[in-house]
Structure 1
Amino acid sequence: MASSSDSADTTTTIPITKKYNFRNPLPLSASQEQEVKQLYHKRVRARCAPEIKAFAECAVNRTVTATWVCRQQRLAMNACMLTHANNPEEEDRAREEWFATYEERRRAKEEELKRVEKRRAEVITMMRQDEERRRQEKQQQQQGGGK
């Protein structure tokens, strides 16, 4: 009969290897993914700016008729947007830009929170001073009225 320790010795451990994507080192939250998408779309719009501008100039003072009057400009704009929007490398570049500017955004947010907290403390101080002034005025009125 084999003991339980004998059966435990026969099992081998298989090392688990994780694939790390160094372009995207961290899983992002939904809001962070939204920020990446905004960067991505901004980059796509920047690449297609001439086509967008041509369509916008054609569509000025037109409503429904812009669909067929500005058809060539619209198709050129859409083709450009689709060409750049379907490029996964462009999304990777946007994600890299997001990671590159992460520290800057974090620092700006911290500075904004410090400014808000400083202003909050100033407002509290002013409110306390105002309360004190009103209390003193009320005491003076009561002393003057009691004489």
Structure 2
Amino acid sequence: MASTSSSIVPPTAPVTTTPLPSRNPLPLSASQEGQVRELYYKRVRTKCADEVRDFASCATHRTFSATFACRSQRHAMNKCMNLYATREEQDAAREEWFSSMDKRREEREEKERKRIRDEVFWKDWWDKDKKTKELGDVPGAAPELGKER
């Protein structure tokens, strides 16, 4: 019984693969998830705009009867929505949301700068009014200022 080393195969450990890094690494808050969801719905509605428009024009001025009278348009709209309401579309909406983070941050910063400018303006505005009243109480100032008629 001769054994060769080439016939003995050492047991191999199971290969574990690490999951691919997430394309969207940050966990989102509930409000951010809502923003992504709104973006997702907007993208799907945009792709199905013709079907939505057809159903809306059929359903205009109808209430209960829209369910029956516009059945074919409703089915076409729902079919289109289900066709595009996929996980890939959600991922695309999430990527779009992440790519627009800088734009939203710049908009917030600009809004804050405008708020500060407005605050300074209104503070100056109301101080003018206060100064005008103070001038009316000073002897030698214009007699019209500060006096009631």
User: Could you tell me the TM-score, scaled by structure 1's length?
Assistant: 0.78
Identical residues among aligned pairs (%):
43
For 1:87-144, what per-residue CA distance to the aligned partner results, in whole angstroms no more than 9, with x for missing partners?
1010000000001010011001101110111110110011112111112113459xx7
Deviation, structure 1 residue 19: 4.9
**Which residue of 2 is the match for residue 47 of structure 1?**
47
**Which residue of 2 is the match for residue 72 of structure 1?**
72
Q: Which amino acid aligns with 2:30?
A: A
> 1:23-102 counterparts in 2 under 5 A?
23-85=23-85, 87-102=86-101
Indicate yes or no: 2:119 matched with 1:113: no
Deviation, structure 1 residue 64: 1.3
CA distance in 1, matches of 2:109, 2:57: 42
**Which residue of 2 is the match for residue 128 of structure 1?**
127
Q: Which amino acid aligns with 1:37?
A: R
Equivalenced residues, count: 126
- Secondary structure, aligned partner of 1:24: coil
**Which structure would you say has the larger RCO, counting Cα contacts within 8 Å and 6 or more residues apart?**
1
**Which residue of 2 is the match for residue 13 of structure 1?**
none
CA distance in 1, matches of 2:19, 2:133: 67
Q: Which runs of no fewer than 5 residues in structure 1 stay unpaired?
A: 1-16
User: Which range is displaced more, 132-141 or 63-72?
Assistant: 132-141
User: Could you tell me the TM-score, scaled by structure 2's length?
Assistant: 0.77
More helix by share: 1
RMSD across aligned positions (CA): 2.2
